[in-house]
Amino acid sequence: MSQSETAGLYPPTAEQAARAHADKETYDAMYAASIADPDAFWGEHGKRVDWIKPYSKVKNTSFAPGSIDIKWYEDGTLNVAANCVDRHLKDRGNQTAIIWEPDEASDEAQHITYQQLHAHVCKFANVLKEMGVSKGDRVVIYMPMIPQAAYAMLACARIGAIHSIVFAGFSPDALGARVNACGAKVVITSDGAPRGGRVTNLKDNVNQALRDDFNEVKCLVVKRTGQQIAWRDGLDFWLHEMEENVSNDCPPEEVAAEDPLFVLYTSGSTGQPKGVVHSTGGYLVYAAMTHQYTFDYHDGDIFWCTADVGWVTGHSYIVYGPLANGATTVMFEGVPTYPDAGRFWAVCEKHKVNQFYTAPTAIRALMGQGNSFVEKYDLSDIKVLGTVGEPINPEAWNWYNDVVGKGRAPIVDTWWQTETGGHLLTPLPGATATKPGSATLPFFGIQPVILEPTTGAELTDTAAEGVLCIKDSWPGQMRTVWGDHDRFEKTYFADYKNYYFTGDGCRRDEDGYYWITGRVDDVINVSGHRMGTAEVESALVAHSKVAESAVVGYPHEIKGQGIYAYVTLMNGVEPSDELRKELETWVRSEIGPIAKPDLIQWAPGLPKTRSGKIMRRILRKIAEDDFGSLGDTSTLADPSVVEDLIENRMNRG
Ligand code: 6R9
């Protein structure tokens, strides 16, 4: 290990290693076993799930061109709701399954026990049946972060229906497109959705989405706010009214391991959203196992993932993984900055959260508000901190580690995708010495490879940089694109034959640690030097006056591509030419002269998707002065930031 890297290395303490499910020795042994004999390894770990009919076959997968086929536990049958609820009743019926924290800090939190969860899910499932939903049918869920969203997911699973959650921040058009794409029979929603003190009329959005061509699609409405809503007679039903007339008893349907559990639409950088299809058996095994090991979850722990159930992170680490493990999982309806920037930490203190999992973008935003919001609260119950969604810059990592974790809680930087179902690269808290900014090492059964981007040759030296692919299947892998298996093959298996292509660039250091450098479409080539835009961003954000930055390439006469940096300053810092020079010099000194931004544009806001990802496609277009073809901006959290950026670009002179 090189000296510079030893300095930034954070090994688990002896105490963390001792209490963990896996210390380094265990991780090494289990990882080796998982690669040497996947059938034996996953055959054994598949038993963490209760099967109705046990599997006799474990792995049957092919990445071969023309016959991409992924099956795990294919002759087994099970029910996901029975695994997430019923099987816990005997030993922990009175344990809290879900802690619900509402948007308003002054409103009371709810504690739902496994026993109560069982009753809610059975009733809900019977309501769906009553509405004509049966095994294999699709149900769209468009809900705020309320317990009924989890009941709805588990109710679908209980009767073998396939859910497709559409994030409640999406527009009526986006919702309609997804209802149509998966051919849903029913949409589940609520009257209103409070978030950050503002209420969205979700039912109105559903009405708009389902106008015209959707006269067959029924809507089930959960009463959340009691506000006035428009009703479609004969097609709309209140959940609480329907529940009055159904039985409490709903036996779980026997579902084949390879039957789909859910479809989740995810946008690529171009084109129509893809319906990512996840299986029942393999997905559940993988979500549960990663939840237990990555977060070192133990019985009695309180686990909080701040994602929304509209994203894959919410599926795997709010609902399915934690509940399959009999955990107590926190569901939060609100936002990190309401009523103030201390909300996350207030909730952690109040519910004595042991594992906290959030996104770097939230960490950076809260870091910009100062330490006092964190220091007010007692966070001594936190044992593990997690991040997901994008690379975390060392500056934010250090703040998370020092100010939130007080240096006591290992940080797990989990790299994965909607497509992967669960974590693929991640530290384990008791096993892996972490390095700020690295997702570190593969989870059990995962064989990451780095390929030379143009030739596709596998780079076998330990230190290497290229595109990240995965060599063989794992149980949580997506099975197909809904209704379009050909697109599945073209998107993930055509560029590099016999591998799953992640779309991410990656560097492996001399210790074998993986560093995600960003999507490969974000790689820029400056004077023949390939550079991850994330590297420059990370340098910029390390400057004390910078809150956030996004870097893209733009055509440059001499260098091929130049570096264009959008910079959001910390609260109260004024832009100036001096500061621009200071930042240029700063990046030069942090990375080297080749990384010095050619242009810096002050950006009061960056265009982000509602899940917090920066839309670099739009920033690239603005940097290229190509304002006419910005593409679809309707999925942005705040489309008005784009106009600001264009105006400033044009005023640059
Ligand atoms: C779970 C989720 C997937 C893309 C992925 C990558 C980026 C996710 C990351 C990360 C660096 C991490 N990404 N986790 N990059 N470090 N720890 O986010 O799924 O929304 O499908 O996004 O997000 O670029 O390819 P999804």
Each residue's pLDDT tens digit, 244-253: 999 999 999 9
Does residue 609's CB lie within 6 angstroms of at least one atom of ligand 1?
no
Asked if residue 277 and residue 345 are part of one domain, the reply reads no
CA of 491 to the centre of ligand 1 (A): 17
Asked if residue 263 and residue 223 are part of one domain, the reply reads yes
In a domain, residue 1? The reply is no
> Quick one: average pLDDT of 434-439?
96
Closest among 481, 483, 504, 482 to 491, alpha carbons compared: 481
In a domain, residue 170? The reply is yes
In a domain, residue 473? The reply is no
Does residue 506's CB lie within 6 angstroms of at least one atom of ligand 1?
no
625 close to 599: Cβ distance less than 8 angstroms? no
- Domain boundary residue, one of 276, 306, 331: 331
Asked if residue 261 and residue 377 are part of one domain, the reply reads no
Which residue in this structure is represented by tokens 């493990």? 325
In a domain, residue 7? The reply is no
Asked if residue 347 and residue 228 are part of one domain, the reply reads no
Rounded distance, CA 647 to CA 653, Å? 11
Q: What is the pLDDT of residues 596-610, one digit of tens each?
A: 999 999 998 899 888
The per-residue pLDDT for 4 is 38
| Beta bridge mates, 480 | 277
50 close to 82: Cβ distance less than 8 angstroms? yes
Name the pairing type of β-strands 198-200 and 193-195.
antiparallel
Asked if residue 242 and residue 117 are part of one domain, the reply reads yes
| pLDDT above 70 for 5 | no
Element (H, E) at 58: none
| pLDDT above 80 for 633 | no
Asked if residue 390 and residue 281 are part of one domain, the reply reads no
Does residue 310's CB lie within 6 angstroms of at least one atom of ligand 1?
no
| pLDDT above 60 for 256 | yes
- Domain boundary residue, one of 331, 346, 378: 331
Asked if residue 212 and residue 308 are part of one domain, the reply reads yes
Number of other residues whose CB lies within 10 A of the CB of residue 560? 14
Residue whose CA is closest, atom 8 of ligand 1?
A: 389
- Was 238 annotated as part of a binding site? no
Domain coverage including residue 351? 336-409
Q: What ipTM does this complex have?
A: 1.00
In a domain, residue 4? The reply is no
435 close to 392: Cβ distance less than 8 angstroms? no
In a domain, residue 353? The reply is yes
388 close to 380: Cβ distance less than 8 angstroms? no
- Was 415 annotated as part of a binding site? yes
Asked if residue 365 and residue 270 are part of one domain, the reply reads no
Instruction: Supply the CATH number for residue 209's domain.
Output: 3.40.50.12780
Does residue 388's CB lie within 6 angstroms of at least one atom of ligand 1?
yes
Query: Would you state the structure tokens that stand for residue 217, as one six-digit string?
Result: 């699609």
Report the residue among 316, 388, 392 best suited for mutation to probe ligand 1: largest number of ligand atoms under 8 A from its CB: 388
| pLDDT above 80 for 454 | yes
Instruction: Supply the CATH number for residue 549's domain.
Output: 3.30.300.30
- Was 462 annotated as part of a binding site? no
In a domain, residue 172? The reply is yes
Instruction: Supply the CATH number for residue 380's domain.
Output: 3.40.50.980
Q: Is 0.90 surpassed by the pTM of this model?
A: no
Report the residue among 516, 522, 635 best suited for mutation to probe ligand 1: largest number of ligand atoms under 8 A from its CB: 516
Provide the number of structural domains found in the chain.
3
Does residue 266's CB lie within 6 angstroms of at least one atom of ligand 1?
yes
Asked if residue 397 and residue 275 are part of one domain, the reply reads no
Which residue type does 214 have?
A: F
> Quick one: average pLDDT of 149-154?
98
In a domain, residue 496? The reply is no
Rounded distance, CA 121 to CA 144, Å? 17
- Domain boundary residue, one of 313, 331, 349: 331
> Quick one: average pLDDT of 15-27?
98
> Quick one: average pLDDT of 66-70?
96
Asked if residue 385 and residue 287 are part of one domain, the reply reads no
- Was 482 annotated as part of a binding site? no
Does residue 538's CB lie within 6 angstroms of at least one atom of ligand 1?
no
Asked if residue 285 and residue 209 are part of one domain, the reply reads yes
What is the atom index within ligand 1 of the atom nearest the CA of 418? 21
Does residue 415's CB lie within 6 angstroms of at least one atom of ligand 1?
yes
Asked if residue 392 and residue 310 are part of one domain, the reply reads no
